[in-house]
Amino acid sequence: MTRYVSEFRDPAIARRLCAEIKFLVTAPWVIMEVCGGQTHAIVRSGIDQALPPQVRLVHGPGCPVCVTPIEVIDQAIAIARRPETILCSFGDMLRVPGSHQDLITARAQGGDLRIVYSPLEALQIARENPGQQVVFLAIGFETTAPGNAMAVSLAAREGLDNFSLLVCHVLVPPAMRALLGAPDNRVQGYLAAGHVCTVTGLADYEAISRDYRVPIVVTGLEPNDILEGLVMVLRQLEAGEHRVENQYQRSVRPAGNPLAWGMVEKVFAVRDQKWRGIGLLPASGLGLREEFAAFDAARKFEVAAITPEESPLCISGLVLQGIKRPDECPAFGAGCRPEHPLGATMVSSEGACAAYFHYQRL
């Protein structure tokens, strides 16, 4: 990892790639980076400011924390507050605002909430606490699905009846299609999320590129990955071509990781899924298959119907679709700041509002 990191951040290479982009571009282009990690790398390293003015980057919906519906946060809070439960979550869900509070406040008020780094850690907590119900807040894109599937199949094999998942899994390609299909779409090329394709492979992306005639370059997360991905997209755009290219070859194989995805398909089935700020997208999520229903926290804990309340000021839906930039939101930096966020995009480490806030230009 270490060796890779320095190579893909070398400023001399970055400057050369920037020069190449300037040389290449003859017309205005709008390119979306799908993944929130890429958004952060772009804003943090200043790629958006180093690009020629004709190249406009818009930020995509690729932040799993941001698109997790507010109801799921509310449900998680309700579960965490029950005396018999231990709720396990990735760290960056903790400050995401629910309708009335966030998970970190629920913890301060006595809920047993633990930060874990993988679902297998949550599984271990379940093994060690047979008297408690352990619930893992299983959110994420295709990248985290294999781990969650693995945890469920292990729990099933071991007959653990005190482990379950509160599932909110979203799939990237349906969202990419939805954005391209929108009447006001401006996106002409995609930097696709390299980490996601590592798991799934490229087949869905080939289809999108064909159907919508857009160049898609599967791109890594480091600044120089992104610059190289941009060079590849812009070459296609300038040449009037559209195909899938793989910038992130050190990690992505065309077929993905069939073993990992096979595990996902064994445990999960595709379902319609609501995205926070965007709405219901058909076949854009994963739910536990019927035979694993016993591990579905949403069924296990009859969480009373909660009426979710979004902040009326927050335009994170538009931000997530690349229609508005975070700094175009009237609340940005004023009513909405990381210490009192109105939307998830302001607190997630992959959220676009957080990126703009933390890495403001000077």
Partner 1 sequence: MDDGPDNKNPALTGGLACPLPFTRREQVLLAHGAGGRLSAELIGALILPRFANPALTRLHDQAILTLPPGRLAFSTDTYVVDPLIFPGGDIGELAINGTVNDVAMSGARPLFLSLGLVLEEGLPFATLERILDSMERAAREAGVQVVTGDTKVVPRGKCDKLFINTSGVGVVPEGLELDASRIRSGDVVIVSGTVGDHGLAVLTCRERLSFISQIRSDTAALYNLVAVMLAASSRIRVLRDPTRGGVATSLNEFAASSRLGIVVEEDSLPVAPAVRGACEALGLDPLTVANEGKLLAVVAREDAEPLLAAIKGHPLGREARIIGQVVDEHPGLVALRTGLGVKRLLEMPVAEQLPRIC
Give the binding site for ligand SF4 (CB under 6 A): 313-316, 319, 326, 329, 331-332, 336, 341-343, 345-346, 353
Considering the complex, state which of residue 131 and residue 183 has its C-beta at the smaller distance from partner 1: 131
The site partner of 345 among ligand SF4, partner 1, none (C-beta below 5 to 8 Å per kind) is ligand SF4
Q: What is the bridge-based pairing of β-strands 244-246 and 85-89?
A: unpaired
Sheet containing strand 29-35, strands side by side: 55-62, 29-35, 189-193, 216-219, 244-246
Footprint (CB under 8 A) of partner 1, residues 211-250: 223
CB 111 within 8 A of CB 89: no
Cα separations in angstroms, 2 against 5, 11, 41, 101, 142: 5, 16, 17, 38, 25
Considering the complex, state which of residue 12 and residue 334 has its C-beta at the smaller distance from ligand SF4: 334
Q: Give 319's DSSP letter.
A: H
Cα dihedral sign, 155-156-157-158: positive
Task: By CB under 8 A, tell whether 359 contacts partner 1.
Answer: yes
Task: By CB under 8 A, tell whether 6 contacts partner 1.
Answer: yes
Footprint (CB under 8 A) of partner 1, residues 149-208: 195
Q: Which of 83, 103, 150, 90 is nearest to 123 (CA)?
A: 150
Give the range of 80-88, 210-218, 262-270, 343-351 binding partner 1 by CB under 8 A: 343-351
User: How far is the C-alpha of 28 from the C-alpha of 229, rounded, in Å?
Assistant: 17
Task: By CB under 8 A, tell whether 90 contacts partner 1.
Answer: yes
Q: Give 305's DSSP letter.
A: P
Footprint (CB under 8 A) of partner 1, residues 35-54: 43-47, 49-50
The site partner of 143 among partner 1, ligand SF4, none (C-beta below 5 to 8 Å per kind) is partner 1
Residues in contact with 168: Cβ distance below 8 Å, sequence separation at least 6, in sequence order: 68, 69, 72, 137, 138, 139, 273, 285
Task: By CB under 8 A, tell whether 15 contacts partner 1.
Answer: yes
Token reading at 55: 């190249």
Considering the complex, state which of residue 89 and residue 246 has its C-beta at the smaller distance from partner 1: 89
The site partner of 332 among partner 1, ligand SF4, none (C-beta below 5 to 8 Å per kind) is ligand SF4
Site string for partner 1, 92-131 (x = CB under 8 A): xxxx-------------------x-x--------------
The site partner of 261 among partner 1, ligand SF4, none (C-beta below 5 to 8 Å per kind) is none
Task: By CB under 8 A, tell whether 361 contacts partner 1.
Answer: yes
The site partner of 92 among ligand SF4, partner 1, none (C-beta below 5 to 8 Å per kind) is partner 1
Q: Which of 78, 105, 73, 100 is nearest to 89 (CA)?
A: 73
Considering the complex, state which of residue 173 and residue 220 has its C-beta at the smaller distance from partner 1: 220
Considering the complex, state which of residue 256 and residue 341 has its C-beta at the smaller distance from ligand SF4: 341
Considering the complex, state which of residue 36 and residue 215 has its C-beta at the smaller distance from partner 1: 36
Least Å from the CB of residue 357 to ligand SF4: 8
Least Å from the CB of residue 115 to partner 1: 7
Residue 152's region, left for phi above 0, alpha for psi from -120 to 50, else beta, is alpha
Residues in contact with 61: Cβ distance below 8 Å, sequence separation at least 6, in sequence order: 34, 67, 175, 179, 275, 278, 320, 321
The site partner of 139 among ligand SF4, partner 1, none (C-beta below 5 to 8 Å per kind) is partner 1
CB 85 within 8 A of CB 92: no
User: How far is the C-alpha of 178 from the C-alpha of 360, rounded, in Å?
Assistant: 30
Token reading at 73: 């946060």
Contact residues for partner 1, defined by CB under 8 A: 1-2, 5-6, 9-11, 14-15, 18, 43-47, 49-50, 64-65, 90-95, 115, 117, 139-140, 143-144, 195, 223, 337-339, 348-350, 358-362
